[in-house]
């Protein structure tokens, strides 16, 4: 971003472990009684473990555009610029109406762009990386000249002004479309018959002997299956029909859910007290649950206000609670929807959603995976699609592993 008085900076925030990921998984997790959340050894800012980092700001800079990424394995990241507001203008690649916050919380995988006025110098930034108990706290400067103040923060991260670990799903509103109108809520009203819905309940299966036998450890299950199971038998949905995804956290932990290939609208999001959400006669109870009440209120809010729900690809979902997301399935193929804590994916937490091509697409054109493998074939039976898809999946995975192996070798030689 080359503009007078504006300086663009990238800040990656992550948790850190002394051992390699696979060793951590093997030594701490993947055996009977193994943990779901291995101990963090530290946190990194732009790949560095040291506190007291400094981002140099050019003298004529008026504002810094900060690209924030939680690139970590597990920890939610908190960021605060002391005495300043951060103006959020982007969430996971979606431009939003500017919204000022004092403290920002980033789930694993989330990206934000914020603008910080830099008329004061230097600016002290405070970062907290959430671990099981408390936060790993770090500070860094953004400074035009040599900073002279003391880089100290003796309070608790939770005491930062504006500290909020939930999602600002009503505040961070995407910019209107090119014609100036707000983008409507997908699927619009409730019980829209053009809409399809899946409900995903996830829980950590502690006492499941079959799982322990199959995987050698306890696993997370979504509707009774692990992500490894879903690789074999994905959840099938139709293309071209709004998909409402209800995610219910039956465990007590906060998990950052991430969807591949799509940005979802966040229609409703529960907090701990709200419990899980049952819709459309799923529950025999006659009383309306707190979750259901919240969902209906949120739906009415979007319809009446005409506002656009926060749109992104990653959100934190609080334990013992729920989220309702909507997407427009318009990219036939297999897409992962999973917890972005890498330890939890290894432990099975996620699903594969298969977007089937529209019937008209099936007869007129072949899906992408078929085109790439059999350009002249006109067959489109499900069996052929599955076979061809598997072939291309194997190719993609082989190339991926080849690249990762080469990278590992390079990294190994650099480090040794």
Q: How distant, in Å, are the alpha carbons of 108, 234, 259 from that of 336? A: 16, 9, 6
**Cβ-based nearer residue to Cu ion, 294 or 347:** 347
Q: Are 259 and 335 in contact (CB under 8 A)?
A: yes
Q: Which stretch binds Cu ion (CB under 5 A): 53-61, 266-274, 342-350, 354-362?
A: 342-350
**Cβ-based nearer residue to Cu ion, 204 or 369:** 204
The order of strands in the sheet holding 53-56 is: 53-56, 135-143, 123-130, 77-81, 103-106
Select the residue interacting with Cu ion from 131, 344, 347, 354 (CB under 5 A): 344
**Cβ-based nearer residue to Cu ion, 202 or 295:** 202
Q: Which stretch binds Cu ion (CB under 5 A): 85-93, 188-196, 339-347, 379-387?
A: 339-347
| Torsion angles phi and psi, residue 300, rounded to 5 | -60, -40
CB of 233 to Cu ion, least distance (A): 22
CB of 271 to Cu ion, least distance (A): 17
CB of 132 to Cu ion, least distance (A): 13
Q: Are 127 and 79 in contact (CB under 8 A)?
A: yes
Q: How many residues bind Cu ion (CB under 5 A)?
A: 4
Q: Which two tokens stand for residue 133?
A: 């108990």
Q: Rule CB under 5 A: is residue 227 a binding residue for Cu ion?
A: no
Place of tokens 């993609």: 396
**Cβ-based nearer residue to Cu ion, 111 or 255:** 255
CB of 338 to Cu ion, least distance (A): 8
CB of 336 to Cu ion, least distance (A): 14
CB of 43 to Cu ion, least distance (A): 18
Site residues for Cu ion, window 254-273 (CB under 5 A)?
A: 255
CB of 320 to Cu ion, least distance (A): 14
Select the residue interacting with Cu ion from 157, 266, 299, 341 (CB under 5 A): 341
Detail the DSSP E strand segments found in 1-134.
6-16, 42-45, 53-56, 63-70, 77-81, 86-91, 94-101, 103-106, 111-117, 123-130
Q: What is the SS3 assignment for 113-126?
A: EEEEECCCCCEEEE
For 340-356, the DSSP string reads S-HHHHHTT-EEEEEEE
Ramachandran area for residue 109 (φ above 0: left; ψ -120 to 50: alpha; else beta): left
Select the residue interacting with Cu ion from 30, 339, 346, 352 (CB under 5 A): 339
**Cβ-based nearer residue to Cu ion, 278 or 344:** 344
Q: Which two tokens stand for residue 278?
A: 């049952």
**Cβ-based nearer residue to Cu ion, 75 or 357:** 75
**Using CB under 5 A as the criterion, which residues of the chain lie in contact with Cu ion when the complex forms?**
255, 339, 341, 344
């Amino acid at each position: 971003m080359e503009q007078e008085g504006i300086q663009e900076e990238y800040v990656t925030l992550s948790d850190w472990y002394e051992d390699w990921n696979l060793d951590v998984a093997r030594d701490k997790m993947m055996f009977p009684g193994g943990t779901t959340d291995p101990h963090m050894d530290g946190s990194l800012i732009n790949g560095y473990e040291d506190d007291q980092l400094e981002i140099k700001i050019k003298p004529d800079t008026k504002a810094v555009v900060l690209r924030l990424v939680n690139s970590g394995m597990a920890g939610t990241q908190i960021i605060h610029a002391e005495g300043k507001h951060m103006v959020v203008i982007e969430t996971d690649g979606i431009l939003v109406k500017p919204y000022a916050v004092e403290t920002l919380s980033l789930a694993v995988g989330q990206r934000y762009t914020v603008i910080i006025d830099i008329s004061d110098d230097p600016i002290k930034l405070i970062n907290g990386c959430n671990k099981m108990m408390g936060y790993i706290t770090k500070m860094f400067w953004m400074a035009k000249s040599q900073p002279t103040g003391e880089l100290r923060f003796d309070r608790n991260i939770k005491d930062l002004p504006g500290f909020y670990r939930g999602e600002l799903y009503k505040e961070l509103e995407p910019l209107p479309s090119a014609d100036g109108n707000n983008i409507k809520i997908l699927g619009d009203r409730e019980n829209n018959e053009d809409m399809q819905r899946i409900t995903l309940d996830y829980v950590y299966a502690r006492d499941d002997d079959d799982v322990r036998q199959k995987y050698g450890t306890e696993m997370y299950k979504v509707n009774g299956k692990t992500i490894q199971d879903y690789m074999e038998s994905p959840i099938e949905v139709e293309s071209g029909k709004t998909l409402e995804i209800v995610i219910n956290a039956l465990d007590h932990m906060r998990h950052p859910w991430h969807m591949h290939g799509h940005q979802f609208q966040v229609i409703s999001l529960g907090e701990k007290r709200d419990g899980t959400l049952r819709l459309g006669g799923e529950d025999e109870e006659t009383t309306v649950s707190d979750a259901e009440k919240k969902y209906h209120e949120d739906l009415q809010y979007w319809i009446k206000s005409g506002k656009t729900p926060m749109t992104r690809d990653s959100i934190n979902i609080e334990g013992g609670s729920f989220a309702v997301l909507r997407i427009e399935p318009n990219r036939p193929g297999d897409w992962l929807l999973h917890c972005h804590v890498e330890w939890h994916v290894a432990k099975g937490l996620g699903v594969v959603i298969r977007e089937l091509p529209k019937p008209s697409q099936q007869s007129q054109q072949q899906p992408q995976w078929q085109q790439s493998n059999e350009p002249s074939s006109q067959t489109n039976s499900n069996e052929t699609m599955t076979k061809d898809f598997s072939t291309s999946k194997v190719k993609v995975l082989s190339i991926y592993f080849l690249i990762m192996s080469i990278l590992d070798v390079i990294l190994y030689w650099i480090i040794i």
